[in-house]
Structures are given as structure tokens and as C-alpha cells.
Structure 1
Amino acid sequence: MPPPGAAAPLPEPENSEAWVWSQIETEVRRDAESEPALASYLYATVLSHASLARSLAFHLANRLCSSTLLSTLLYDIFLQAYADHPSLAASAVADLVAARLRDPACDSFSRCLLNYKGFLAIQAQRVAHVLWNQRRRPLALALQSRISEVFSVDIHPAARIGSGILLDHATGVVIGETAVVGNNVSILHNVTLGGTGKAVGDRHPKIGDGVLIGAGATILGNVRIGEGAKVGAGSLVLIDVPPRTTAVGNPARIVGGRSKLDEIPGESMDHTSFISDWSDYTI
């Protein structure tokens, strides 16, 4: 049995889009029955659509539209991106699974899909990234602006983001133009992956697979955070962090030894194991 508050293990095939979409439909029907006030919203956003991609396109278009950036226009843009790039839906599934397994407050896929702004911001940024690569840069930047306004998450459309990403709470996350975020990374709120000033070119952090970045951490410059590393909450990182190590403090320093090869902090969400190596404070 999982500990109280932990997400139950997911059956195979947990990374299947069809399986996750089936779970979402079941969850939404249950919620519509228990809360009739939401029934029409849930039908329009989820149950009237044939796939996760179509539901996401509709939901993002309605969340990000404005009086001059119409939902019908955005829906067509998102739908075309999902049709042309099936990897977008696959990454969305990986992100949904990441939230369900790593966040004890996430008790269903559907509530993440509908309500988690970190999840929605990442999906919208991936479409903006497609537009950026298609040289539709004014539209990509307009979409970035709306994502920032609506979700309080500012990710440049040129930034490269992996899959299995959790932006937990997400408010105040800033990711710069030349940043790269690997797979299975978890990032808490108020994290900045930024530059160091007016430098041009490749100037933002590169985050390896399986990294965990605590709330309020700031990582500046073209530095590398190695695979399976941790960055403690509130830390300021200005230099490379080796794989499977922990960086804490302002300015950050490396504490403790290397973690095991099979340890993935971005999945375990273990924020406190370094404390005994860092100070006299004990828990």
C-alpha cells in the first residue's frame, strides 16, 4: 500500500495516450455526476472530444484567448500543431503521469488537465516552440505573452523542454530563450533559468534528465546541471553542478556525496536528504 497522501501506482500501460484518455473520460463523468454545476463545462472541454489532443487544443484555446486573439483562431493553431507533431500529445501524457505520480495533491489526471497551470503552460509552450521553429515568431511571442499573463509562467518559445515535466504550483517560473530542460525534471514555483546580463548567444542553463529544482532557486548563465542533480530551494547557482550531486546556498555550493545511479530526484521529489550534510540543522 502507498503511504497516506501518495498517489497509487499506475497500471500498465500508464504511458499510453489511449489509456490515459480513457481514465480522464471516466474521471470527468464521475465529476459531472457529483457536481452538476460543472457538467456543461466538463462536456464541452473533455467529453465532446475524441482524443486528448483535441481536448487540449480546445481547453488551451479557451484559456489563452483574448478579445483580439480569438479562441477559434487559437483552436485551429493548436489542433494543427497536434496533428503535425504527434510527439506533443505523447509529451502531454508523460507530463500528466508525472503530475499524478509526483504530486500528492494530484488525485486525478482530469483535474491536472483542467486546472494545473504548470501543466497547461508547458503544453502551450510546446506549441509556441513549434511556431518558433516554423519562423512564425511574432505569433510564437504573442502566445508566450498570453501564457505569462494567464498562467504566471514565462517560458521563451525557443526554449527546449523535454517530457515528463512537473512544474509544481508553477507561479513565477521563468525559463530563458536558450535554456534546455531534459526529461523527467521537476521544477517548483519561482524558479528562474536565466541569463547573467546582456550577453547574447547561448546564455541560459542546461538542465539534465531527472533533475529536481527547489522553490525559489535561481540558475543563471550557460551552466549545466548534471543528470540526477538537486538544486535546493532558494539557491543561487552560477557554476556547473555535477551529475547526482546537490547544490544549496547563495551562492550555491556542492554538499554531500553523489547519489546512487538509480536515484532520480526529479521523480522522487526528495527535497531534504542533503540537510544533514549541509548544516547542524537536523530533521
Structure 2
Amino acid sequence: MLGGELRQPTPPKDVGVTYSEDDEAWVWSQIKAEARRDAESEPALASYLYSTILSHSSLSRSLSFHLGNKLCSSTLLSTLLYDLFINTFSSDPSLCAAAVADLRAARMKDPACASFSHCLLNYKGFLACQAHRLAHKLWTQSRRPLALALQSRVSEVFAVDIHPAAKIGKGILFDHATGVVIGETAVIGNNVSILHHVTLGGTGKVSGDRHPKIGDGVLIGAAATILGNVKIGEGAKIGAGSVVLIEVPARTTAVGNPARLVGGKEKPSRLEECAGESMDHTSFMSEWSDYII
């Protein structure tokens, strides 16, 4: 049955594997099927779902239309943004591949994500990440005033502030996303999960390479702050509310203010055992005897 298929998406692929056109086509077909189902069950949304999803021939066109409507203003027209976004997607297929990976990440890692179309339409963390990738592409093309204007609109609309020079991998989950701040020289790897009110910032007014470097498979808990040009190793976990000023080795947990390191773990044999995939926020507590709620 259609409903059963929509509730059980296929697992995401391994880190480092490039998504193919078949992956995009499968996700897009799921999104359209979900939109048709929702339009039938809730007629009040039928026009919205048709204009945002069902009338489009591809994920990139749907996403360009949706982002254009979300980010437009009285002086930054939705039609201008749509043309800008669709042209940028067309010039770099990796942007759509990254969006597919992000959709899969949200669907597999967030139990509140009811469907791919729900993520596409309603997850501001997902939308902010896609807009950032478009702004980053403009930044690399030396179209910096436009990239900064997009950053400003994303911050105003989604309450997510990511400098367009920051580098972000794929399979990213910004869970809830409100208040996320990511600085200019920050780098985020693949399959990273970041909750709300997280800051990847600098330590002062010194310019240059001054922001955190986040490895693959990292989990960063709500309201965590990581400051300076420090490396967070692959599969590491940053506890909620922690303030991290030091390097965190791979598969190690950092908790507290200022953060201290708690144990470590041998390299997991499967991707889902990484913190950024398992979304396990509390396993460190048994190793930290003086933890107090």
C-alpha cells in the first residue's frame, strides 16, 4: 500500500558515496506521492501542495520555487529568487544531491519527520541549509553582496544565521534549528546533526581561520557553544549546553562549561553507531558520575 511505502523509506547510503540521479528520482517520486495523498486528505492544502510540489517537474524546481517564496521581500522578488536558484542548481548538480542527502537524514534520524514532503515544506533547518548552499555557491563565484543579502534574509525568516563562506557537507540535520549561528571559516563534515541554539563561533575580533571544524558523524546538542579554530573529531558528541574551547578527539564526548572530555569509543563498525546518526544524547551519563540535573 502507498501509506506503508511512505512510512518506510530506504536507509541512507554510506558516508562519501555520491548520490545518483536514481536516488534523486526516487526521493522526488516519494515527495509527489506524499503531496498527492495529503492533498486528497486535506483539501485546504491542495492548492498549496500543487503550486509548491505537484506542478513542478523536479526537486530542484520545487525547492527553488519554495525558497523563493519563503525568502522574498518587497524589494527582493520571488521570481528573481526562483530564477537565481534554479540557475544555480542547474550549474552544480551536487547541490541537489546534497538536498537529497539532507532529506534522507531528516527522515531517518528525526522521529518527528512524518514524510519527505513534510521536511521539504516545513523544516526550516532543512530550508536554511539549502539556502546556505546556494549562497555559498554565489560566494565562491565572487557574487558576495548577493550571498550576504541571502544570508540576511535566511536569518530573518528562519532564525538561522550561517555565513555564506562556511563549508557544509551533506546528510546534515539541523533539528529545530532556531538560533543556530555558524561563522565564516567554520567547516562541517557529512552526516552531522546539530540541534537548536548551537553556535560555531570565534573567540574575538581576530580575522583569519577562527571557527570550528566539525568532523563527519558529529552530534552537537542543544545550546552547545564551540568557539575558536578547534577540531571536533569524527563521531564525537557535544553535550547540550556545553561550552567547548578545546579539541575533541574522534568518538569522544565533551560535556560541561567549560567542557571536559568523557571517555571515548573504538571506531564504530556501522555508520548508524556514530553519534550524528544514532542521535544518542545521554549515553555518556553513565561515565560521568558527578553529572547533576
Q: Supply the AA of the counterpart residue of 1:11.
A: T
Aligned partner letter, 1:178: T
Write the distance in 1 (CA, Å) between the matches of 2:143 and 2:74. 21
SS of match in other structure, 1:201: coil
The 1:9/1:34 distance shift into structure 2, 3 A limit, reads closer
Secondary structure in 2 matching 1:254: strand
Shift of 1:107: 1.2
Give the secondary-structure state (helix, strand or coil) at the position aligned to 1:274: helix
Separation in 2, partners of 1:267, 1:54: 29
**1:8 CA drift (Å):** 5.6
Q: State TM-score, norm by structure 1.
A: 0.95
Note if contact 1:275-1:282 (Cα within 8 Å) is conserved in structure 2.
Answer: no
2:179 to 141, 157, 172: 172
Aligned to 2:88: 81
**Which of the numbers 14, 32, 35 marks the counterpart of 2:39?**
32
Residues 9 and 40 of structure 1: is their aligned pair in 2 closer, same or farther, counting only changes over 3 Å?
closer
| Counterpart code for 1:154 | D
Verify: 1:187 aligned to 2:194, yes or no: yes
Larger mean CA deviation between 272-281 and 203-212 belongs to 272-281
Q: CA deviation at 1:12?
A: 7.0
TM-score, normalising length: structure 2? 0.92
SS at match of 2:103: helix
Once the 2 structures are TM-superposed, how far is the Cα of residue 278 of structure 1 from its aligned partner? 1.3
Partner residue of 1:118 out of 108, 113, 125: 125
Deviation readout 1:153-173 (Å, 9 max, x if unpaired): 000000000000000000000
Q: Match of 1:219, SS?
A: strand
State the shift of 1:258 in Å.
Answer: 2.1
Answer yes or no: is the 8 Å Cα contact 2:7–2:114 preserved in 1. Answer: no
Task: Give, in whole Å, the separation in 1 of the partners of 2:12 and 2:282.
Answer: 32
What is the CA–CA distance in structure 2 between the aligned matches of 1:84 and 1:133, rounded to whole Å? Answer: 13
Q: How many residues align?
A: 277
Deviations 1:228-260 (A, max 9, x none): 000000000001000010000000000123244
Counterpart CA distance in 2 for 1:176 and 1:99 is 23
The answer to whether the 8 Å contact 1:9/1:101 transfers is no
Cα distance in 1 for partners of 2:125, 2:285 equals: 28
Aligned to 1:159: 166
- Structure 2 match to 1:4: none
Task: Return the alpha-carbon distance in structure 1 between the equivalents of residues 11 and 152 of structure 2.
Answer: 38
Give SS of 2:283's match. Answer: coil
Cα deviations across residues 193-215 of structure 1 (Å, max 9, x unaligned)? Answer: 00001010000000000000000
Q: Could you tell me how far 1:132 is from its partner in structure 2?
A: 0.4
What percent of counterpart residues are identical?
77
Structure 1 segments, 4+ long, off by >6 Å, are: none
- The answer as to whether partners of 2:191 and 2:276 remain within 8 angstroms in 1 is yes
Equivalent residue in structure 1 for 2:217, among 203, 210, 213:
210
**CA distance in structure 2 between the partners assigned to 1:230 and 1:83 by the alignment:** 36
Aligned partner letter, 1:247:
A
Consecutive unaligned residues of structure 2, counting only runs of 5 or more, are 1-5, 14-18
Q: Give matches, 1:1-283, under 5 Å.
A: 9-11=8-10, 16-262=23-269, 263-280=273-290
RMSD of aligned Cα (Å): 1.6
C-alpha change, 1:240 and 1:112, in structure 2 (3 Å) is: same
Question: Structure 1 stretches of 5 or more lacking a match?
Answer: 1-6
